[in-house]
Structure 1
Amino acid sequence: MVLSRALLKINGRFLHIYGRDIPSKIPLPPYITKKVDLTLSTVAVQSERNINEYKRAGSLIHQIFNDLEKFIRPGLSTQDIDDFVFNRCLSKSVYPSPLGYKCFLSSVCTSVNKVVCHGIPKESQILKLGDIMSVDISVYNGYAHGDICHTFVAGVDSHSDYCDLEAGAQIKAAVYLCTVAQKCHDAGISVCGPSAPYTPIAEAVTKCADAFQCPFMVGEWGHGIGPFLHRPPKVVHSTHESAYQPLARMLPRHTFTVEPCISLPLNKSRVKFERNTSFAVPVILEDGWTVVTSDKALRAQF
């Protein structure tokens, strides 16, 4: 077996990968065990087996999220979240896909408040009441990856209605934003189906975000998934970026993510486009991973 630099040490029944001990029974994704091209150029039509494995991976992630929802609370660090997800992955005999992917050092992405995506868990980052945090969990079961993102408000029941919530303005804003982001996600999925073009996804997401006067994040796209973690097609979430959406149609057994990121400025400033469409611009920090909002707005992703 040819090992990449992500695999640092073999110790009995464990593989030591970026500071984590992985039991040898856990299936490793190709980018850990082999030197492979992580950027594939074609849209794949999955086999029936891959579809079933993809569903199984997604189901396991939902189970982890159900456990995580009960675990998240103010006072925890985002590293605590990473540890929790890592241990749940091992208990279900799946590999946490982010660990070692393009040298990423953690098992999950934790994006808090103004962080759009790819937030790196830290011991020093402590959750406070009302913090909004997106947790992006991906797992590999030996055949396929699953990839799901949920957003939580620390210390607040995820099923709360912002209209009935007795809380401060920022907590209400966070709960409102989560509600809108979930609706935008659902709107994008609602237009998917065999022979449908990909472009209506952006139209549906933009229409929904505009209806709630919440800007969408440009540059944050969905992607193909399956035996690979990222692959075409690009899935554009806003009409402003429609030029980047390939003029292709969905085929049976295409597998891809719809994961729009929606923001909510806490001030009055907002950049406007035609048709009263507003957007927020992401900025990548020096670590090369963490993406933040340019206007320090809150954001949520499903």
Structure 2
Amino acid sequence: MSELGRNDACWCGSGKKYKKCHADFDEKLSALKAEGHVIPPHKLIKTPEQIEGIRRSAKVNIAVLDYVAEHIRAGISTAEIDRWVYEETLRLGGVPAPLGFEGFPKSVCTSVNNQVCHGIPSEELILQDGDIINVDVSTIVDGYYSDSSRMFCIGKVLPEWEKLVRVAKECVEKGLEQVKPFGLLGDVGQAVNDHAKANGYSVVREIGGHGVGLEFHEDPWVSYTSKAGTGMVMAPGMMFTIEPMVNMGAPDIFQDSDNGWTIYTDDELPSAQWEIQVLVTDDGYEVIAY
């Protein structure tokens, strides 16, 4: 896999000799590749310096979501949430990653009820008692990216909607349990999907998680309708999101033809999503943003 000599400097930039750093790592990946598995390229393996920078970004990301959690309520517009995210992110030394990304006009995604994801904040959309909303915050600090989202129940929510929100979070936790060094991403997707289906729900097929850290969206793409035993090898140093979109009804979705961003459930039933950012470690995982 690598033409480096064992006494050469390691490709990761640690300054250590290759044999003392990533030689065994590369041998393990080469063996898995020979077995037919998809292995990550070196560019997807974060260095300790990069990981530390991403942690700093995540600290801002989490603080912004905490601020939203303290202030969100019925009667406010989703545009107000956008202002909170913009102002708090800048105050804490970051930049909102969504703002201007591929033309996205706001600093945060706010997806209400049957909006699956990529909801655009609006002065006209006022949160009502009984709504559920996903607030998806993505942050840049010193060029490093962090990305996480939370669901919020506004006022008194129908019990069946409250259950959807709870189970969506459980799906993330089930997927996280499958994150193991040199495991397979398909194991994560299978665990997510099994738990959603066991509760009578479906998982959106077309949109999944993604690598993140040095860019907003990196490889790998993370499916939540995948099968155990398939997918890319989860090597230590890889970082990606777990963020299944769990629908109360069918998995079918459509995109708003007017704004080109917002995704809705085709059957108009509600959808829920939580997102965490995960680092694969030598002995398991570390949740970077949540």
- Relative to the length of structure 2, the TM-score reads 0.77
1:289 corresponding residue in structure 2: 261
**C-alpha distance in 1 between matches for 2:269 and 2:59:** 32
Question: Which letter does structure 2 place at the counterpart of 1:65?
Answer: L
User: d(CA) in 2 for partners of 1:195 and 1:210?
Assistant: 27
Q: Distance in 2 between matches of 1:79 and 1:106?
A: 9
Partner of 1:21: none
AA partner of residue 180 (structure 1): V
- In the alignment, the residues of structure 1 paired with residue 253 and residue 181 of structure 2 have an alpha-carbon distance, to the nearest angstrom, of 32
Partners of 1:113 and 1:299 within 8 A in 2: yes
Instruction: State, as a whole percentage, how many aligned pairs show the same letter.
Output: 31
Helix, strand or coil at the partner of 2:150: strand
The answer for the alignment partner of 2:231 in structure 1 is 247
Provide the secondary structure at the position in 2 that maps to 1:288.
coil
Query: Partner of 1:108 in structure 2?
Result: 108
1:45 aligns with 2:32: no
Query: 2:106 matched to 1:120?
Result: no
Residue number in structure 2 paired with 1:35: none
What amino acid is the match of 2:119?
Answer: G
Q: 2:241 aligned with 1:257, yes or no?
A: yes
- Tell me the equivalent position of 1:64: 64
Query: Residue 235 of structure 2 aligns to which amino acid in structure 1?
Result: L
Conservation of the 8 A alpha-carbon contact between 2:255 and 2:261: yes
Deviation per CA, 1:224-260, whole angstroms, max 9, x where unpaired?
A: 0011000110110113xx59x9732011110100100
Contact 1:218 1:282 survives alignment (8 Å):
no
Q: Which residue of 2 aligns with 1:174?
A: 161
Is the Cα contact below 8 Å between 2:187 and 2:230 reproduced in 1? Answer: no
Q: 2:208 aligns with which of 221, 228, 233?
A: 221
Q: Which amino acid aligns with 2:54?
A: Y
- What amino acid is the match of 2:247? S
What is the SS of the residue equivalent to 2:110? strand
Preserved contact between residue 145 and residue 213 of structure 2 (Cα < 8 Å): yes
Amino acid in the other structure paired with 2:84? F
CA–CA separation in structure 2 for the residues paired with 1:120 and 1:94? 21
Deviations, residues 258-288 of structure 1 (Å, cap 9, x unaligned): 10011113xxxxxxxxxxxxx5111011121
Aligned residue identity for 2:174: A
Note the alpha carbon deviations across 1:167-207, whole angstroms, 9 max, x for none: 5xx62222111100000011111101210111101110011
* Alignment-derived partner of residue 14 in structure 1: none
Give the SS at the match of 2:136: strand
In structure 1, distance between residues paired with 2:54 and 2:224? 22
What secondary structure sits across from 1:232 in the alignment?
A: strand
Residue of structure 2 equivalent to 1:237: 224
1:23-42 deviations in Å (ceiling 9; x for gaps) = xxxxxxxxxxxxxxxxxx96
Report what 1:146 is aligned to. Answer: 146
Distance 2:199 2:59 in 1: 30
What amino acid is the match of 1:105?
P
What residue ranges of structure 1 are gaps of 5+ in the alignment? Answer: 1-40, 156-166, 266-278
Q: How far is the alpha carbon of 1:289 from its aligned partner?
A: 0.5
Question: 2:196 is matched with which residue: 200, 209, 214?
Answer: 209
Counterparts of 1:262 and 1:182 in 2: how far apart (Å)? 9
> Counterpart amino acid of 2:123?
E
What is the TM-score of this pair, normalised by structure 1? Answer: 0.74
Partner of 2:176: 189
**Is contact 1:195-1:250 (8 Å) kept?**
yes
In the aligned structure 2, how far is the partner of 1:58 from the partner of 1:187? Answer: 22
